[in-house]
């Protein structure tokens, strides 16, 4: 039997075990997916091997460490600077990042946009900015503080104060944690209203709650999605890597979706 696990801190909230175990069942595979509460990044590599895992998903705050410890790094993961999926084969580890491609799949029905504004400059912003820029979208990243903007040398960057006179963006994405545990917006309401008034689409990476950002997007009558679709598709792509599967996307997606509906 193959063993897999998701590593993070905290980890109890993770929906990955349910999603992956339901897909394992649907495809009749001989495998089990567990959760592992890792408290110290230095123990990631050791834990992977001690548990005799065939693969793992890595969530906050260990995605950078996951890339660092891998023997082989996928080009996309390297460019994004973090990994959420590790495959272990013959005592070698391989790092991938499926967050960005999961996001692209989630917004597949947002048609024909050419400009995107990403609010926030953390790891998720980097993954999304990179895959969008790679697709030919003109990406701009804005953050409340300057420091992390230096990681985005492939696109335009601003602190919020300098964004006011901008001409507007068709897609606005919130990758900040604003609204996750409170009722705050990622930036000031007046600025956000100006930006959303010029947009057609919006995306919120947070899932499981209607955030103040999404409420505002609704008021502006934008086509919008929350992070559940991204969570789902990053899981589908990780699962395909775990089991070296091709062409089973819909079956895996439906099994994972069923598991998410039950949580
Ligand atoms: P990071 O900690 O790397 O980055 C957070 C960013 O948000 C930083 O730019 C930070 O600004 C900004 N920020 C944090 N709090 C606030 C606030 N109150 N107001 C304005 N800006 C704020 O986080 P990640 O990028 O790793 O994760 C971000 C979110 O994405 C999390 O909520 C996570 O749960 C979600 N996520 C969802 C996924 C999905 O599948 N749907 C997958 C991965 C993540 P500063 O630099 O100034 O500190």
Q: Judge if the beta carbon of residue 230 lies within 6 A of ligand 1.
A: yes
Find the 60 Cα to ligand 1 centroid distance in Å.
10
Q: Judge if the beta carbon of residue 206 lies within 6 A of ligand 1.
A: yes
35 CB-side CA count, 13 A: 15
Model confidence pLDDT, tens digit, residues 28-57: 999 999 999 999 999 999 999 999 999 999
Report the b/e string of 148-175 with b at 16+ CB within 10 A.
bbebbeebebbebeebeebeebbbbbbb
Map tokens 């649907």 to a residue.
Answer: 26
> Is 165's pLDDT higher than 90?
no
Q: Is the entire prediction scored with pTM above 0.85?
A: yes
How far apart are alpha carbons 225 and 173 in whole angstroms?
Answer: 10
Q: Judge if the beta carbon of residue 120 lies within 6 A of ligand 1.
A: yes
Q: Which residues contact 65 (CB under 8 A, 6 or more apart)?
A: 41, 44, 58
Best of 124, 149, 185, 208 for a ligand 1 pocket test (most atoms within 8 Å of beta carbon): 124
Specify the residue with its C-alpha closest to ligand 1, atom 43.
124
Q: Which residues contact 91 (CB under 8 A, 6 or more apart)?
A: 49
> Is 150's pLDDT higher than 70?
yes
Tokens at 23, concatenated: 């897909």
Find the 143 Cα to ligand 1 centroid distance in Å.
10
Residue 263 pLDDT: 67
> Is 10's pLDDT higher than 70?
yes
Find the 119 Cα to ligand 1 centroid distance in Å.
9
- What phi, psi does 131 have (nearest 5°)? -70, -35
How far apart are alpha carbons 206 and 231 in whole angstroms?
Answer: 10
Q: Judge if the beta carbon of residue 174 lies within 6 A of ligand 1.
A: no
Residue 262 pLDDT: 78
How far apart are alpha carbons 87 and 53 in whole angstroms?
Answer: 9
Q: Judge if the beta carbon of residue 129 lies within 6 A of ligand 1.
A: no
How far apart are alpha carbons 203 and 217 in whole angstroms?
Answer: 9
Active site residues: 63
């Amino acid at each position: 039997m193959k063993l897999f696990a998701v590593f993070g801190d905290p980890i109890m909230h993770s929906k990955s075990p349910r999603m992956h175990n339901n897909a394992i069942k649907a495809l009749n595979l001989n495998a089990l997916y567990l959760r592992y509460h890792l408290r110290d990044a230095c123990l990631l590599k050791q834990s992977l091997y001690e548990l005799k895992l065939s693969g793992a998903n890595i969530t906050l705050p260990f995605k950078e460490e996951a890339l660092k410890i891998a023997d082989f790094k996928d080009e996309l993961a390297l460019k994004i600077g973090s990994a959420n999926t590790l495959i272990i084969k013959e005592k070698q580890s391989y790092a991938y990042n499926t967050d960005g491609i999961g996001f692209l799949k989630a917004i597949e029905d947002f048609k024909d946009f050419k400009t995107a504004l990403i609010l926030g400059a953390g790891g998720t912003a980097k993954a999304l900015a990179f895959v969008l820029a790679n697709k030919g979208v003109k990406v701009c990243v804005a953050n409340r503080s300057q420091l992390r903007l230096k990681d985005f040398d492939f696109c335009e960057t601003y602190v919020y104060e300098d964004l006011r006179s901008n001409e507007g963006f068709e897609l606005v994405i919130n990758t900040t944690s604003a609204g996750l545990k409170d009722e705050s917006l990622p930036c000031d309401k007046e600025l956000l209203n100006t930006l959303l008034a010029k947009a057609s689409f919006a995306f919120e990476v947070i899932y499981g709650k209607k955030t103040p950002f999404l409420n505002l997007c609704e008021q502006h009558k934008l086509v919008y999605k929350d992070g559940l679709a991204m969570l789902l598709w990053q899981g589908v792509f990780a699962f395909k890597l775990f089991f070296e599967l091709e062409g089973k996307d819909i079956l895996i997606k439906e099994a994972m979706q069923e598991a998410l509906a039950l949580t």
